[in-house]
Structure 1
């Protein structure tokens, strides 16, 4: 493997890992703070990708177009969706057994897939990146790397910094940490746990949907695209530590490198590499790399 190929694979691993972090960070917030096993989280990634496809013509017609305008509209809609879902469905699950949480969230997967089929159909769709991000940069004499993939990494890094600032430097973050540490004590201190959970869930849905929207030009848009992402996100959450944003970032990058270079160096065993990593982590440190916070 020459240096240019190695560099490209490193960039691919970082981009994939950061995209996984964007989805997994929302899942670890919901799982670690609210205590809900949300199997429907991958569906929010799919919804985001389909919004990137379906909203673009509407934005072009009524709002003058623009890639960032489409992202903004999609984020607003996903926040509203998350707030509504927590209010209507998830608010009844906090005191229920995990089996009931799994069954209801699996039912939501089926509902979202059926609605997707009715509204958009079952075809595979492509989403074009904006023209100013459609080029490539040279790596070596013959290889190039897409600018849009670098843009994805930059967005994910910006979101990671913003989430760190939110969790560690704001009053909302203080309440989130308190709710994750001791729900009853936080309620006794005057924290509105119901409202806090709705905000956290809305943020989690928005993060997953944003990941789907920015990934759509790279991966295309197709039915059941959230299933594979969901499995990888649970791996990230287990390795990084439930409820830990820092753990989700480190674990996602680790999974990105193991998966990417596993496919390059050991293609016959590539499908096992990430799960072997998770098994080793469970044996070595079952609680994950970092604690919640």
Structure 2
């Protein structure tokens, strides 16, 4: 960009390129599903077409992007911590079922409050509305003063997601073992299978978020390492393609809805299986009782 805030020739080539517009449209479509990301992505597409011949109007200033920056950082932090909260919820429900049954709603409210508080604190610590004005191609670009801090936070959160994956796998394994130990208590077996299903859903959500953030981190590393050695337009387009946070944000609520439908469908099968198993066990016990009585009567007659 130029000192006067206008886009350079390379910047105009980047913003008006076919690849940039294609990726922008795909991110716009994914953002519509999340609702809150619709405005910034739509503005990016609009600027690409409306100001393709106006280098001084096609760029965004950091002042214009302040609301979007707050929203994106808050959403990103909350999106990642939601997975951590779901993992903690599964741990408590598995290890302390009686406590969770009595105080589950209150505990979930505490997790929700913690998630919102963490997102707000993280956003306020990173975003500085009084920072020096910068010019961006799109409002999703990170201001230079917060790029290092935000990248560190995202990297740390990616590590937290890895921990969540292992926690969820451990909970699934534990629920499976507990279910095998309990053969005749239908209520407890149903609870263990329900916990196993919800743990599987949490694991899916965590993996999708992890891969989305991991690809984004790789894009940031490519931008940092090779940004000075290659054409800025090429590097920016690659970074644009690897900006996968909107897709991860879209996939999360979709996976939650799919998970709810999956759990509902599996719940019916679980109830059917457990009911059948209970009837089979009862029939077997009756059969053994009749055999024992017949054997007892036979021995009594012989004596």
TM-score (norm 2): 0.32
Higher-Rg structure is 2
